[in-house]
Amino acid sequence: MNDAMLGLLRPGIRDLHAYEVPAIPGIEVKLDANESPYSLPVYAQEALAKELATLPVNRYPDPRATRLRELLAAEYGVSPSCLLFGNGSDEIIQILIACLSRPRTGKERASILFPTPTFSVFRLFATTLGVDSVGVATGDDFSLDVDAMREALREARPNIAFFARPNNPTGTLWSGKHVLALADEFPETLFVSDEAYGEYAQGSLVKSLGACANLLVMKTLSKIGLAGLRVGFAIGAPQLIAELDKARAPYNMSSFNQFAAHWVMSRHRELLKKHCGQVVLARAAMAAELGAMGELRVFDSDANLILFRVGAAGAGCGPKLWGALCRRGVLIRTFGSSGRLADCLRVTLGNPDENERFLAELRSCLAALRGR
């Protein structure tokens, strides 16, 4: 690539960091990506593999994902025309920002807004699409600062406001009532309730869609045990969905992910729900164990993850502990030692063996750090 080519890049892209998934040798317990620890039983995997083998790979997939659409629409009690599919809900975020990026009168660029810290992909796609990002700081415990949100909404007049409910990486569940009240107050902004972790929490806003014209809900199958399939979707008013659908790549959902998602969701839905229930129980136990260690600040979570701070923010204990855990074969997520998440670590709930191993290694590492 020559300088002229580099010069064509949209401002902001060269400063971005690629979404990094660390490849660390020797990891035995992987609790870093908010996946479900539970896969399908072997008999189900084998039956699915047989079915997938019969798909006509020379043909394009159904561009409308009709069967999956009908199944998921029935699950959420909406019309099939209320659904927009993405290759993971990441793609839905990209489509939303791309479509709703017209600058408001008197502004040079459009903007999106979100409470911070939150899911990094909102900002990532805004930057790649030439849209400004406005982050609104949450409180010390990551609770929503409703007054600050109102002020920022008034000031920035964003096209979209994203609320990850529950939030990643903090696990906080921002109140649906607050989101709906703000949506009512700012009817010219699209309010998005990103419910990627909704199966681990209460308070979905799907039922409020009919009463709130500027609301959209995002869902994904990734966090309930099907991350490998890449199926995400938005639920919203048919008129808006029809417009967004024009910007979707025509065959974004492969035959395999459509078929597999439909197959699993129609045959094994109860099993996936049971797995989520197990994770919710494990979350309470894990939070209690972490709290009992005395030296961690553990944040409340309604997702399949727990965020905790090690030592004082900025003292550097978070990354040290993370490195020590990696050396013992346990991978969780670190956020460095500066900024709002300074010295915080995020652990995804695993199966009982993984959780136990994590806690045991954590205790040893903390003891070693203390002994220094």
Ligand X SMILES: Cc1ncc(COP(=O)(O)O)c(C=O)c1O
We find the least distance from the C-beta atom of residue 220 to ligand X, in angstroms, to be: 3
Footprint (CB under 6 A) of ligand X, residues 145-184 = 164, 168
What backbone phi and psi angles, to 5 degrees, belong to 345?
-125, 150
Footprint (CB under 6 A) of ligand X, residues 280-319 = none
Q: Cβ-closest residue to ligand X? A: 88
Q: With contacts defined by CB under 6 A, name the span among 35-43, 84-92, 254-262, 293-301 that binds ligand X.
A: 84-92
We find the least distance from the C-beta atom of residue 200 to ligand X, in angstroms, to be: 12
According to CB under 6 A, which one of 111, 214, 222, 258 is a site residue for ligand X? 222
We find the least distance from the C-beta atom of residue 93 to ligand X, in angstroms, to be: 7
Q: At what angle do helices 66-76 and 255-267 cross, to 10 degrees?
A: 40
In this structure, what DSSP letter does residue 191 have? E
Burial class (CB in 10 A: 0-12, 13-18, 19+), 1: exposed
Q: Which is nearer to ligand X, 82 or 196 (CB)?
A: 196
Q: With contacts defined by CB under 6 A, name the span among 13-21, 86-94, 203-211, 338-346 that binds ligand X.
A: 86-94
Residue 88 interacts with ligand X (CB under 6 A)?
yes
We find the least distance from the C-beta atom of residue 179 to ligand X, in angstroms, to be: 14
In this structure, what DSSP letter does residue 202 have? S
Contact 260, 254 (CB under 8 A): no
Within 8 A by CB and 6+ apart from 96, the residues are 160, 190, 192, 216, 234, 244
At 121, which amino acid appears?
V
3-state class (DSSP) for residue 269? helix
What backbone phi and psi angles, to 5 degrees, belong to 17?
-105, 135
We find the least distance from the C-beta atom of residue 111 to ligand X, in angstroms, to be: 19
Encoded one letter per residue, x for contact with ligand X by CB under 6 A and - for no contact, window 17-36 reads -----------------x--
Q: With contacts defined by CB under 6 A, name the span among 13-21, 88-96, 247-255, 286-294 that binds ligand X.
A: 88-96
Q: Which is nearer to ligand X, 88 or 115 (CB)?
A: 88
Nearest to 190 by CA among 257, 246, 113: 113
According to CB under 6 A, which one of 32, 35, 90, 343 is a site residue for ligand X? 90
Q: For residue 183, how far is the Cα from the chain centroid?
A: 21
Number of residues written out for the chain: 372
We find the least distance from the C-beta atom of residue 34 to ligand X, in angstroms, to be: 5
Footprint (CB under 6 A) of ligand X, residues 227-256 = 227, 232
Q: Which is nearer to ligand X, 127 or 168 (CB)?
A: 168
Burial class (CB in 10 A: 0-12, 13-18, 19+), 109: exposed
User: How many residues sit close enough to ligand X to count as binding (CB under 6 A)?
Assistant: 13
34: which 2 tokens? 């908010």
Footprint (CB under 6 A) of ligand X, residues 117-146 = 119
Footprint (CB under 6 A) of ligand X, residues 191-220 = 194, 196, 220
Nearest to 125 by CA among 95, 104, 170: 95
Q: With contacts defined by CB under 6 A, name the span among 57-65, 82-90, 109-117, 332-340 that binds ligand X.
A: 82-90
- Put the strands of the sheet holding 305-310 in their side by side order: 296-298, 305-310, 344-348, 333-334
Burial class (CB in 10 A: 0-12, 13-18, 19+), 17: exposed
We find the least distance from the C-beta atom of residue 205 to ligand X, in angstroms, to be: 14
Site residues, ligand X (CB under 6 A)? 34, 88-90, 119, 164, 168, 194, 196, 220, 222, 227, 232
